[in-house]
Amino acid sequence: MGPNPLVVDVDTGVDDAVALAFALAKGANLLGVTTVAGNVPVDIATRNTLDVLAWLGREDIPVHCGASRPLVASYADATDVHGGNGLGGMELPASTTSRATLAGPAFIIQCAERFAGELDLVAVGPLTNLAIALNVRPQIASQIRRVVVMGGAYSVPGNKTPSAEFNVYVDPDAAQQVFNADWNDITLLGLDVTHRTVLARELWARIPGDADGAAGLVRGATERTFTERGKSGFYLHDPLAVAVALEPDLIQGTQASISVEVTGQARGKTSASENGSGPLVAREVDSERFVRELCQVLELPTMDARAGFENPE
């Protein structure tokens, strides 16, 4: 049997682009990609996704544009991190493919019904599309085999505010709905584990400047992180989510009930009450194995996977 059918929900900024490259390099059975307003407005996220897939030689994968704003909250982007174009200023050749006609949430519903009991879904942006799909068709919670979410900060500070991780902050109402739905299997990867997975400056600097394919994408899209932003490492938030969907044993966690603050100064704060039920919240990650595998499949230079950095985002 081949890999399970997969849908990836993105707000394509830099780490989303690397996540898509990783999924394809791993041979994921990617049915399509849905886009949402998050790191950048949804039209830019959609264009970036089309261009990234074209760069990687996979224009056959459909891209379904989704929600243009959060359910209730005011929209906030992350162009300070990802650059105005979302790809760190890297200019990819424009794809000749157009976005698919079916909207993102509708595509999720369609795939959940068509591949009931088999479909995996990875959400690496705000959870607006998934919440809309749940509201329209609640039974997708039992039809989707596994959901992996990059979102939240459960025992560590946030990266948008002192208490909130960006994806949950952007649409806390959607996150609350998704986290409390009765899924077959849902894993939450918060900053607790994603901040332990790093592409180090030393590794980036060894990627040839004229690299093409996935390595060239990593080199170009992350360049701003190491130059203009002066960071010594790039967090691999979204690639880790794809990796966990394909290899769940990369992480260990505990089941917990999740509460989300939806308004006020604590907007986006996620709290986990461990009680033996609810989503699996990742607590540990085999970061060395993951970074080593990412470098291997994306044909990046090899180096000590423990290499870290001193100036986090």
- Annotated active-site positions, please? 237
Q: What is the Cα 211 distance to its own chain's centre?
A: 24
Nearest to 43 by CA among 90, 96, 104: 104
